[in-house]
């Protein structure tokens, strides 16, 4: 099935939320600068996404084959044990927002611009995930992203991009030799129906991670995923 390409993904960006994220208030001496940056970002932002329904054709002990493309991961294989259809995706804040931020040289404004790009990406990502769930009648869903676990390294970006076709042509996201994406504020992964809850953080023992969404569960690693 052809990939679904969406430009101008709806997003929400409000100055008060940026102020909150930056731990400051409307009466701060930085507020006016932040409000101007938000207004500038909203004027040019064009988040984009590409995704598609794809079907699992083969399952091994530590791999799955999706639409003819092999992905190597024990965790992904276990998570997809009872599933035959998944939804690979790439979502980006957009090249326009990246170009908007490039000339900003002031340290504070540059930091604020980085937060703004991240917030636009997070909002667009939620929009797309909600759209996928409604479009395909999905109830409980989760996702995995290449590079989020040692078991599924960032090099798995290569087959993921191949599965989605010409991602650069679709939404102007480029996969570098390092397997990082440009624009940097882009995310990729596989979205799938899942009973219960799953977060990659549950299988990651890294301490003091600022982006942790769930506690590390050593028993889950050993008992369900046999990672040790």
Q: Minimal CA–CA distance to 87: which of 163, 201, 35, 157?
A: 163
The DSSP secondary-structure symbol of 200 reads G
Which residue did the predictor score with more confidence, 38 or 219? 38
Across-strand partners of 188?
90
Tell me which of 141-145, 153-157, 203-207 is least confident.
203-207
> Residue 219's pLDDT is what?
66
3-state secondary structure of 145: coil
Q: What is the pLDDT of residues 70-81, one digit of tens each?
A: 999 999 999 998
Please provide the average confidence, as pLDDT, over all residues in the chain.
90
> Residue 194's pLDDT is what?
81
> Residue 118's pLDDT is what?
97
Q: Which long-range contacts (CB under 8 A, 24 or more apart) does 173-182 make?
A: 173/48, 173/90, 173/92, 178/154, 179/146, 179/147, 179/154, 179/155, 180/154, 181/90, 181/92, 181/157, 182/98
Q: How many CB atoms lie within 10 A of CB 88?
A: 26
> Residue 225's pLDDT is what?
67
Please give the Cα distance from 35 to 228 (Å, whole number). Answer: 49
Map tokens 């078991």 to a residue: 151
> Residue 175's pLDDT is what?
97
> Residue 226's pLDDT is what?
65
| 15 sits in which H/E element | helix 15-21
Q: How many CB atoms lie within 10 A of CB 148?
A: 19
Please give the Cα distance from 215 to 108 (Å, whole number). Answer: 32
Q: Is the pLDDT of residue 208 over 80?
A: no
> Residue 148's pLDDT is what?
86
Q: What is the pLDDT of residues 110-129, one digit of tens each?
A: 999 999 999 999 999 999 99
Q: What is the pLDDT of residues 32-90, one digit of tens each?
A: 999 999 999 999 999 999 999 999 999 999 999 999 999 999 999 999 988 999 999 99
Which residue did the predictor score with more confidence, 218 or 149? 149
pTM: 0.89
> Residue 227's pLDDT is what?
55
Structural domains in the chain plus CATH codes = 4-194 (3.40.109.40), 197-228 (no CATH)
> Residue 137's pLDDT is what?
95
């Amino acid at each position: 099935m052809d990939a679904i390409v969406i430009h101008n993904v709806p997003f929400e960006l409000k100055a008060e939320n940026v102020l909150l994220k930056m731990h400051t208030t409307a009466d701060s001496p930085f507020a006016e600068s932040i409000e101007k940056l938000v207004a500038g970002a909203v004027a040019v932002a064009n988040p984009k996404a590409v995704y598609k329904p794809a079907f699992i054709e083969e399952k091994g002990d530590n791999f799955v084959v999706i639409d003819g493309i092999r992905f190597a991961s024990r965790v992904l294989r276990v998570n997809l044990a009872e599933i035959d259809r998944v939804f690979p995706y790439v979502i980006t804040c957009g090249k326009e927002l990246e170009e908007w931020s490039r000339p900003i040289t002031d340290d504070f404004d540059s930091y604020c611009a980085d937060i703004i790009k991240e917030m636009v990406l997070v909002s667009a990502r939620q929009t797309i995930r909600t759209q996928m769930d409604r479009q395909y009648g999905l109830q409980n869903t989760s996702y995995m992203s290449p590079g989020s676990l040692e078991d599924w390294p960032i090099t798995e970006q290569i087959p993921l991009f191949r599965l989605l076709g010409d991602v650069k042509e679709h939404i102007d996201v480029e996969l570098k030799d390092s397997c990082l994406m440009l624009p940097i504020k882009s995310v990729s992964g596989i979205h799938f129906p899942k009973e219960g809850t799953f977060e990659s953080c549950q299988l990651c023992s890294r301490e003091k991670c600022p982006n942790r969404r769930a506690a590390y569960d050593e028993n889950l690693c050993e008992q369900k995923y046999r990672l040790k």
